[in-house]
Amino acid sequence: MVLLQTTTLTYDPFSLLFLVLVALAVIGLGVYLFTAIADLRNRNEMTDATVNALNVSTNTYANLAQAVVNAINQQTINMTNLTQAIVTAINANTTIYQAQAQADINFKNTLLEYYGMQLTDRDIRQLMLGKNQNQSTSTK
C-alpha cells in the first residue's frame, strides 16, 4: 500500500513580504539601470555638444585668424600700391623739375649768348668808331 502524503498550503506572511521585497528590489534595480543608462546618454549628448561647440569655436577662431591674415595681406598690397604711387609721383615731379631746370639753363645760356653778341658788336663798333676817329684826327 502506498501512503499518500498530502501537503497543505498555508499562508505565510513572511514569504509574501519577501516576495514583495524581491519585486521592489527588481523594480528599483530596473529604475536605477534605466536612469543610469539615460544619464549616460545625456552625458554622451553633452559631450557631443561640447565637442561640437569646441569645433565651432575652433573653426571660428581659424576663420578669424584667416581673416586677420587676409586683412594684413590686403593692407600690405594697399601700402605697396600707395608707395608705388608716391614713387611714381616723385619721379614725375623730379622729371618735371629737371626739365624746368634744363629749360632755365638753356634760356639763361641763350640770354648770355645774346648779351655777349650785343656786347661784342658794341665793342667792335666802339673800337671801329674810335679807330676811325683816331684816323680822322691824325689826317687833319
User: Average pLDDT, whole number, for the chain?
Assistant: 84
Distance of CA 65 to the CA centre of its chain: 8
78-135 pLDDT, tens digit each: 999 999 999 999 999 999 999 999 999 999 999 888 887 777 777 777 777 776 666 6
pLDDT-derived band of residue 43, with 50, 70 and 90 as boundaries? confident
Q: How confident is the model at residue 7 (pLDDT cuts 50, 70, 90)?
A: low
Q: Is the pTM of this model over 0.95?
A: no
Instruction: State residue 2's pLDDT score.
Output: 57
Long-range Cβ pairs for the range 35-38 (8 Å, 24+) = none
What is the rounded CA–CA span in Å between residue 26 and residue 104?
A: 114
Alpha carbon 70 to chain centroid distance? Answer: 4
pLDDT average, residue stretch 23-38: 90
Pairwise CA distance, residues 126 & 110, whole Å: 24
Angle 71-73-78 (CA atoms, 0-180°, nearest 5)? Answer: 90
In this prediction, residues 17-40 reach a mean pLDDT of: 89
Q: Give CA–CA dist 138/132, Å, rounded.
A: 10
Please choose, from the candidates 74, 73, 76, 96, the residue with its C-alpha nearest in 3D space to the C-alpha of residue 84.
76
